[in-house]
Amino acid sequence: PPTSAAPVIRQLPQSVVNKIAAGEVIERPASVVKELLENALDAGSTRIDVSLGQGGLDLIRVTDNGCGLSPEQMPLALASHATSKIHDADDLFHVATFGFRGEALASIAEVSHLRLRSRPHESEQACELEVIGGKSSPITPCGAAPGTMLEIRNLFFNTPVRRKFMRASQTEIGHCSEAFTRIALAHERVHFTLRHNEKTIFDLPPVADWRERIAALCGRDLERSLIPIASGDGDVHLQGYVCDPQQSRSNNRMQYLFLNGRHIRDRSLQHALGEAYRGLLLHGRFPIGFLRLQMPAEAVDVNVHPTKLEVRFQDSGRIYSLVLGTIRKKFLATDLTAKVRMNG
């Protein structure tokens, strides 16, 4: 006969559920930076300022000039599974915003000291509220410009195991800066700034030309060797830049893929990019690329991965061929293959 007693099943308290969600979505300070930036963009901001302290471990502050939140909505913004972005299950199949799960702020609030200050544009008055480890203070009026500020201090203060895994401030700032770069790359019409320990790292005024944003983030040298590509296949559009094979990297980190304005990671498309450069790069070198794909929201499932980094295409073969074919054709048209052979 079985020796252990029959189990007693309990519904977990909400705070434990939030902590589990935080473990999945908030891996390190850079994850907070990403979530807060995406919220600011979803709020329609045209200017977003990020300020970090000690690699984001001590402080992450994101200030935007977006739509803002009314005081009645502020506690809801921090509740789990509370979102203004989708309403029913049907909406899941054509998500147009970055967020939709309504878990980011609840998760962050569970593992940090969070301050939310917000003022809707139509309001004279800002309000703020503080949450420490999921426990909220009353909402108090204060002065602030229209928009929203979220301030996260002492990330993982109540999850010592996670805190212990954080690397030196320099490593964490590297990850934060990468998260910032991906988002700032995709939104060249938005003014972004990034400060670390009171020092400005990036000040990116809005630009109409994507090349200018790439230059501001990746340097003028790289911008000079960009090769524009553009093509379409029905309702799928590809636009962007690849790089002269003279410029390559020892890893694939300079391969930026954006799908409907969202940065994604996709091994198959990175493979297509690599294939396009076959014979043009030395072994172990990786091409540089900034590729934007635009397609109807119905043609792709973004609800696969909690951080939405990986997506599922309805017709991945067609997109692979589009990327590979477009770059190849461009190389042939500019006779780059011949030029490289001569130089090499």
Residues that bind ligand ADP (CB under 6 A): 35, 39-40, 43, 64, 66-69, 77, 83-85, 99-106, 148
Residue 44: how many CB atoms within 10 A of its CB? 14
- Residue carrying structure tokens 């109409």: 208
> Chain centroid to CA 281: how far?
30
134 binds, among Mg ion, ligand ADP, none (CB under 5 to 8 A by kind): none
Can you tell me the distance from the alpha carbon of 334 to that of 273, in angstroms, rounded to the nearest whole number?
A: 17
- Please identify, using beta-carbon distances, which residue of 61 and 244 lies nearer to Mg ion: 61
CB-based contact 111:15 (threshold 8 Å): no
Residue nearest to Mg ion (CB): 99
DSSP letters for 249-287: BSSSTTEEEEETTEEE--HHHHHHHHHHTTTTS-TT-B-
CA atoms within 13 A on the CB side of 65: 9
Beta strands in 156-288, from DSSP E residues, in sequence order: 191-196, 199-204, 226-233, 236-243, 255-259, 262-264
Of the candidate spans 44-52, 97-105, 179-187, 260-268, the one that interacts with Mg ion by CB under 5 A turns out to be 97-105
User: Binders of Mg ion among 104-143, rule CB under 5 A?
Assistant: 104
177 binds, among ligand ADP, Mg ion, none (CB under 5 to 8 A by kind): none
99 binds Mg ion, rule: CB under 5 A: yes
- Please identify, using beta-carbon distances, which residue of 56 and 99 lies nearer to ligand ADP: 99
- Residue carrying structure tokens 């073969």: 317
Amino acid at position 279, single letter: G
269 binds, among Mg ion, ligand ADP, none (CB under 5 to 8 A by kind): none
- Please identify, using beta-carbon distances, which residue of 222 and 300 lies nearer to ligand ADP: 300
Can you tell me the distance from the alpha carbon of 169 to that of 55, in angstroms, rounded to the nearest whole number?
A: 4
- Print burial letters for 194-219: b (CB count within 10 Å at least 16), e (below 16): bbbeeeeebebeebeebeebbbbbbe
CB 25 → Mg ion: shortest distance, Å? 10
- Please identify, using beta-carbon distances, which residue of 45 and 181 lies nearer to ligand ADP: 45
- Please identify, using beta-carbon distances, which residue of 150 and 264 lies nearer to ligand ADP: 150
102 binds, among Mg ion, ligand ADP, none (CB under 5 to 8 A by kind): ligand ADP
CB 87 → Mg ion: shortest distance, Å? 16
User: Binders of Mg ion among 9-38, rule CB under 5 A?
Assistant: none
- Please identify, using beta-carbon distances, which residue of 120 and 240 lies nearer to Mg ion: 120
- Please identify, using beta-carbon distances, which residue of 26 and 185 lies nearer to Mg ion: 26
302 binds Mg ion, rule: CB under 5 A: no
CB-based contact 91:100 (threshold 8 Å): yes
Among 18, 31, 39, 45, binds Mg ion (CB under 5 A): 39
For residue 241, list its beta bridge partners.
228, 290
Residue nearest to ligand ADP (CB): 99
DSSP structure class, residue 94: G
